[in-house]
Amino acid sequence: MARAVTSAGRVVEILRELILDNTFPPGARLAETELAEQLGVSRTPVREALRQLAAEALVELPPNRGARVASWSLDELESVFELRATLEPRLTGMAAARAGEADIAELDELATRMLAVGSPGPDQDRDALVPLNTAFHGKLVRLADAPAFAAALAGAVRTPLIMRNFHAYDDASMRRSLAHHIEIVAAFRAGDPQWATAVMTAHLRNARAVMLRTVAPHSVQRDEQTH
């Protein structure tokens, strides 16, 4: 990602990363003064950054009451998956129709590397999966070349616990997930958008099942402080 040239832009990137990393958990207070001090800028760029993040639904910003990291209820998380399950398969189909040889090779490379580092066993490295997975899905989004879809999806993916949590996968689900990437590449190679669409649907349903098992037991709503 291109480094922002303004202070406010940098603060946005830093805060977004910290929120998605769960360094600031849902409900955590984001005090302007404190953040400004820690980041070495004045309150002004921090305020602007918080406004932008509020528009992205990453933080809540009630008037006169300071900013907190947004919380997602189970219903909302399910809704996010439902949204992805609606958008991504269709988007994958569009991508399949447009992918050239070089694109397919790139996806193949990513899927293969994910299979290598993600397969259950002594060499498994779940954290290494995150950037590869992001790259894979990002490539599909770019191939589809549908700006509004990309924007809508970006909003949906901007949710903690999503796209960033491979530790929750049991071995069987993980194997399925890795196989899906490979199969999507096969569908691309076969020039079969419907096949690709179907696999992506399965991919997301699998991810949804993992999420439900992870989140259902404990509550998602939290109200931690960070002092």
Partner DNA sequence: TGCGCCTAGAATGCGCGCATTCTCCGACGA
Partner DNA sequence: TCGTCGGAGAATGCGCGCATTCTAGGCGCA
Residues of this chain that interact with its own copies (CB under 8 A) are 4-6, 8-9, 44, 47-48, 51-57, 63-64, 75-76, 79-80, 82-83, 86-87, 90, 145-149, 151-152, 155-156
Assess 14 for contact with DNA (CB under 7 A).
no
Q: Which residues contact 47 (CB under 8 A, 6 or more apart)?
A: 32
Q: Report helix angle 74-98 to 126-144, nearest 10.
A: 60
Assess 227 for contact with DNA (CB under 7 A).
no
Q: Which residues contact 129 (CB under 8 A, 6 or more apart)?
A: 114, 117, 118, 166
Kindly identify the residues of this chain, within the stretch 51-80, that bind DNA according to CB under 7 A: 61, 63-67
Residue count of the chain: 227
Distance, CA of 179 to CA of 212 (rounded, Å): 21
Q: Min. distance of Cβ 188 from its own copies in angstroms? A: 20
Which stretch in 26-34, 80-88, 100-108, 208-216 sits in contact with DNA by CB under 7 A? 26-34
CA nearest neighbour of 80 among 145, 162, 136, 164:
162
The amino acid at 194: Q
Which stretch in 32-40, 92-100, 113-121, 178-186 sits in contact with DNA by CB under 7 A? 32-40
| Contact positions vs DNA (CB under 7 A) | 6-8, 30-34, 36, 41-45, 47-48, 61, 63-67
